[in-house]
A and B are shown apart, each in its own frame.
Chain A
């Protein structure tokens, strides 16, 4: 089952939009315990874009990213991926979607500690349809020499680059990164971001990066700032800067 095959007939599809988000909302819990994490979000994200999400802690960035990645379902609004109604997809279809279309990079790497770098990548290439070789993915993030090391033997930055290699090895349509440099120092952060930027450029993968570092906005095509679950501000850069050119 290809998610794009689920395009509902008669639905207006914007040709180039990968994600089409309308009035998206998410409420966690019910009754007294209900927490509104997202409200009235409208977005169109296009192929090949590099998008940065900014916002205070608790503003709903991760919530939005998790909805885009099919980890969770919205409680209101529309969420379409290439015309397919992602917001109302069933569990099995979401799994399929994550498997085929999405690459994730998380703040805490989430590598499998009992597997080497190469094996962590191979784990995904084994189930993907048209993957690159694990070695190739590791080469893209500059980790060829450390391919046979276990996560515990790698630095945080190296672990995060393994996580990126794992995310991109299946040639995903979208790469979703939640604070990929959150646990890293500036210098290490730069190598990680360079890897992400390179993937975005070379593979043309729609990339969404959450960060607390406003400086990073300059590497993006577009920047959205969230506040209290709403998009407060959106901004399009006329020129994208390379990570190394940014004013750290």
Chain B
């Protein structure tokens, strides 16, 4: 081992806690990045494999009813590879032990063959026998929510007739990796489930023998999805088609894609911040270490060591830190990634979700952090190398040659000696002070980000939800009905207030962009459903035009004042150009709103409603629910609190978990940064402070010089850090918000208070550690020579 390497080892030992602090920050950034990149890889691999093995279709369409011969027509279309035509019906379920009715989507299984497309994966039990009666498969998400097992029974109302279904098996399906009711922005696995029955029995129950109402197909290699969709739409148009769509509009696939997009945002934003902090700290440690070793470097140079040799020496120093950080980061990312994969299995129902380490990201990250560290080292070595040895042997002169500002303005005498020294030190070494301040501000800033996620969720759960949706429950009809249906709803037991709504599938088109969704018709004087703008103010729906959710408008590139072509996908299929009158702010899915009368006018079918929003007296809730269970014409029941509880359990919890992980990291990093800053000022001052001790300053006085400096810098850094953190939180939120779930930027005093508290605690802790080290200062040693 060369003597320079021996020096390296000794220096490292002396700086071990500082080097560890830097490695820790780097490890946190890498762990986060590896965790998220690995999750992305795991989800992506699982999805691709699953879709392939279970033949997930590429184009989907629903329609009213078409004879089986039409399926053959579709199969013959150019660009179509395989077609599966089936029956899918939404039904009301009566689940033992559940007060409110649930909704089921029953799909047909071909009687005498395996499905060509969208094959279910059997988790437990068996398939219903060919031509079996009263047997069903149930999705795992629903069976988990209700603890159903093969052999259990449930009741369903099939076309007004109550049927008892025995559960033959529990399955997963590539169509329902993410299981939510059609059109629902948020999932609730208790109130909505997916089922499969043999086709004959299902078709018979709904008078669809020899017919189908849903079709899925795959594309031939090289076929254009657009062209096939157009062709399919032409064929199905006479059969009440709701319009074909590709995977990008598939409600389950979109969720997986969106989750991957969120992870991509997180895998970039957070680690970028952390790795930059780590690079910054490596620079600070190395730069200042090299500055402290000015004289040593000068002497090495005087004895003939080349700049390269000396540079390499410090590069090795940085590499030790980088390697330590990388190893810890990879290990941490691997551990956390494995944990999170298990959590994802609860939201995304894959037959298996195996953790896959994203090695590419790992290499990239390690290279990035080494590069960052090297740039820092090289810069610092260059500065020293540029000095002549003679010059380097003197201490660096201070930049300012005037009496300190605060002494000039005469406030100095108000403070104690130590405090004045602290102020002087800061003023005389502005660069160091600024660097420390920047580090402390970063520490504060990164603490703001994770809690802004938490506060965003709480805002949704506690405020937004209740402002925009004030009903207790939403009931929808199987078919749009006449206005008098509202009177029926009103007469249900316990109903205090009832309001009709209309929901119609439409296509919104502008230029080359288009989007299919259900437009909601809301009565102009609605009390229960309120459309809210970005300032939490209610938007009054005008008699003309449409209000789009911000996410939808962004997606279509529209702003208020533009007009959009609205094509209705049912009935007489009218098409109109309507103005966009305002943008609504909501947190999930995409939405379009119109005045209900205006919508009905546009449809030209008279005054009809799709369902009603109701408020129900709390005392009569169970009475109300049992009445609803026996109302055959209601096809869907959405209980607001159930959806909220489900959101709390799923989305909120997953974001909450990630937020906790990030918060832990941010706290660790904040401590690392603060401690490191304190150690740097200590090592820069060691000789000076020892001299003060020799001259008769007490431990307390010398300690308070150091602590005072740290406290002053912290006080300056805290507000700056809060501002910085707010901006970072905003940037990261923007990058992770998707169509399916959007968090508002909510910055609360308690978030700020937490960040301040952590940094203040870290400061106190670091100051205490620094003071302990002060007591070990070698007084006599400081007098012997300049180190």
What is the bound-complex CA distance between A109 and B782, given in angstroms? 11
A150 with B397, Cβ < 8 A, contacts A71-B780, A112-B688, A123-B421 known: yes
Q: How far is the CB of A23 from chain B (nearest CB, A)?
A: 22
Determine how close the nearest CB of chain B comes to the CB of A120; give it in whole angstroms: 10
Query: A70-99 toward B: CB 8 Å interface, digit per residue (1/0)?
Result: 011000000000000000000110011111
A110 touches B397 (CB 8 A): no
Contact residues in A for B780 (Cβ distance below 8 Å): 62, 66, 71-72
Expressed in whole angstroms, the Cα–Cα distance for A153 and B699 within the complex equals 30
User: Which residues does chain B contribute within 8 Å of A99, judged by CB atoms?
Assistant: 695-698
Q: Are B424 and A114 in contact (CB under 8 A)?
A: yes
B396: which of A104, A108, A152, A178 is its contact (CB, 8 Å)? A152
Other A-B pairs beyond A71-B780, A150-B397, A151-B395, 4, CB < 8 Å: A102-B696, A123-B695, A152-B397, A153-B401
**Contact indicator B696/A98 (Cβ below 8 Å):** yes
- Asked if A113 meets B786 with Cβ closer than 8 Å, knowing A71-B694, A98-B696, the reply is no
Chain B residues within an 8 Å CB radius of A150: 397-398, 401
Which chain A positions have C-beta within 8 A of B699?
91, 95
- Give bound CA distance, A72 to B687, whole Å: 17
Question: Which of these, B403, B694, B782, B785, contacts A98 with CB under 8 Å?
Answer: B694
* Contact assessment for A153 and B397 in the assembled complex, using a CB-CB cutoff below 8 Å: yes
CA distance A95 to B784 in the complex (A): 19
| Number of residues of chain B lying within 8 A (CB) of chain A | 32
1/0 contact string of B423-447 vs chain A (CB within 8 Å): 0110011000000000000000000
- Asked whether B786 lies within 8 Å of A127 as measured between CB atoms, the reply is no
Known: A113-B397, A152-B395. A100 touches B424 (CB 8 A): no
The answer to whether A119 and B695 touch across the interface, beta carbons within 8 angstroms, is: no
- B695 x A98 contact (CB < 8 A): yes
- A169 to chain B: closest CB distance in Å? 11
Contact A92 B698, beta carbon cutoff 8 Å? yes
Chain A interface size, as a band, is: 35 or more
Give the 10 A-B CB pairs with smallest separation, nearest first. A99-B696, A152-B397, A114-B428, A98-B696, A110-B691, A126-B417, A113-B395, A106-B783, A114-B398, A95-B698
Question: How many Å lie between the Cα of A72 and that of B403 in the bound state?
Answer: 35
Chain A residues near B696 (CB, 8 Å)? 95-100, 102, 124, 127
The complex places the Cα of A190 from the Cα of B410 at a distance, in Å, of 39
Closest to A148 in B: B403
C-alpha spacing A123/B692, complex, angstroms:
9
B424 CB contacts on chain A under 8 angstroms = 114-115, 119
A228–B395 alpha-carbon span in the complex (Å): 35
16 A-B pairs with CB atoms under 8 Å apart are A71-B779, A71-B780, A95-B693, A95-B696, A95-B699, A104-B695, A110-B691, A110-B783, A112-B691, A113-B398, A114-B398, A115-B424, A123-B417, A123-B695, A127-B697, A166-B695
- B401, B417, B693, B786: the one contacting A108 at CB < 8 Å is B786
Q: Which of A98, A106, A152 contacts B394 (CB 8 A)?
A: A152
CA distance A112 to B779 in the complex (A): 15
Contacts of A191 in B (CB 8 A): none
Residue of B nearest to A119 (CB): B424
Cα–Cα distance between A123 and B784 once the two chains are bound (Å): 22
Q: In the complex, A54→B695 CA distance in Å?
A: 24
Alpha-carbon distance between A114 and B420 when the two chains are bound, in angstroms: 13
Q: Does residue A197 face the partner (Cβ distance < 8 Å to B)?
A: no
Residues of A within 8 A of B429 (CB): 114
Point out the residues of chain A lying under 8 angstroms from B691, CB to CB: 110, 112
Interface string of B553-564 (1 = CB under 8 A from A): 000000000000
The yes or no answer to B237 lying at the interface (CB within 8 A) is: no
How distant is A7 from chain B, measured CB to nearest CB, in Å? 21
